[in-house]
Structure 1
Amino acid sequence: MLKNLFKKKEANSDLMAPLTGKVIPLEQVPDQVFSQKMMGDGVAIEPTGKQVVSPVDGEVVDVFKTKHAISLKTDGGAEILVHMGLETVELDGKGFDMQVENGQKVKKGDPLATFDIDTVAAEGYKTVTPIILLNGEDFAVSNVASEQDVAAGEGVLFHVEKK
């Protein structure tokens, strides 16, 4: 019983798809900050569904004030960013409904937000959603999914491993 209490948290984990849609390589995202991996490595999803779920077991670190992005920290310490759409910070929350708050514990598949892709597209913004490993100095991305359809909470996007 006490052995489980002091068990070290697993640093390596599979990151699940937070949205239903088509996986695209980060290099194909039409935004240099993401395509050139300035923020970190990862993939993107061209969403067809509106429900955004947690890709990891962990904690919500930051629900951005403008509701367009959520950062999470896995139980093992990897920091993940789910950035809904491109340049959507300018929408100031329009088209986004958050279902979590900072500090909240989440499990893979737990609802994070609703992303109204129709509203965002109608406003002239791209809905492509980068999913980024932010602390690449401590973790590495491997087994990255290639162009394929994924379902929210089901498809594995990539594996995160402690360096």
Structure 2
Amino acid sequence: MTRPPLPPFTATTAAQKVRAAEDAWNTRDPERISLAYSEDSWWRNRSTFVQGRAAIVDLLTQKWERELDYRLIKELWAFTGDVIAVRFAYEYRDADGRWFRAHGNENWRFDEDGLMTHRHASINDVAIEDSERLFFWDAAGPRPADHPGLSDLGL
């Protein structure tokens, strides 16, 4: 199984990989998302460490049970060969209706088939008021092409 674009990355293919990841994560479908990772993919997500697709599915399932109305924007930060660095922000609400914006960075490493073998994610949550929300599009779908990215929003 291959997941183009494949390394070594160019500026264009790295940006395509980032947008494909963003679109997939915005579906909030853990099974679908897990297919972008190698069978033994290794993750650090905040302070949680997991390995393998089944563990990734479990982590993401639990994540979206807590993080409701999730909307994510990713932006390419840097790339070389088989590595991509991403910065991102996402908004979600908790079960009590409080809104948050999470900011973070991810470092990704890919195998020759374009599957991610390593994901290191550092994430910080900031409480926001409903009036401070910036990410508006239909839930569980991709960000529209005309919706501003992180740099355009000043994030």
Give the TM-score of the pair, scaled to structure 1. Answer: 0.28
Give the TM-score of the pair, scaled to structure 2. Answer: 0.29
Q: Answer 1 or 2: higher relative contact order, Cα 8 Å, separation at least 6.
A: 1
Greater helix content: 2
